[in-house]
Structure 1
């Protein structure tokens, strides 16, 4: 059974949203300011990292780390990608 989980964080004036669809294969979509900028798939509960660029001048690279399971997925944000992780807030819609 597939389920969708949503996460969000605001960073440097930009909105970063993540959708995690769980199941036999987990699908991760990253949106920056409402536009899809990155995605990844991973088998079942394996963690995955998606690196995207924020639309700044010059572009700023950030990373989203997703742990799809077991249980409820968890999502973390890092800027720059090797920085300390921040927990992304779950969104219910």
Structure 2
């Protein structure tokens, strides 16, 4: 049976949340300001990088990088200008 891990960060005035459901395969959900913007199932590689649009003026694309294991999942937000990755804080639900 899978387990859910939640991560969050505020970036450029917008809320970015990630849920990683682990198990035989991992499912990653990304929400921006509470709206689902990406959902992907990852298999054996257990890592994924998802481009996500932030509704700024003009729109900004960032990348959410998820490592679903082994061990506890980790999430990073990589700014659109390829700046330093920002660690997304684990969050209890």
User: How far apart are the structure 1 equivalents of 2:83 and 2:24?
Assistant: 30
Residues 55-66 of structure 1 correspond to what in structure 2 (within 5 A)? 55-66=55-66
User: 1:47: how far off?
Assistant: 0.7
User: 1:45: how far off?
Assistant: 5.6
- 1:53 has 2:53 as partner: yes
User: How far apart are the structure 2 equivalents of 1:68 and 1:13?
Assistant: 27
CA RMSD of aligned residues (A): 1.3
- 1:4 has 2:7 as partner: no
Specify the alignment match of 2:21 in structure 1: 21
Question: Aligned pair count?
Answer: 93
Unaligned runs of 5+ in 2: none
Normalised to the residue count of structure 1, the TM-score between the two structures is 0.93
Structure 1 residue runs of 4 or more that deviate by more than 4 Å after TM superposition: none
Contact conserved, 1:17 with 1:30, CA < 8 A, in 2?
yes
Normalised to the residue count of structure 2, the TM-score between the two structures is 0.93
User: How far apart are the structure 2 equivalents of 1:43 and 1:15?
Assistant: 27
User: How far apart are the structure 2 equivalents of 1:62 and 1:48?
Assistant: 14
Specify the alignment match of 2:88 in structure 1: 88
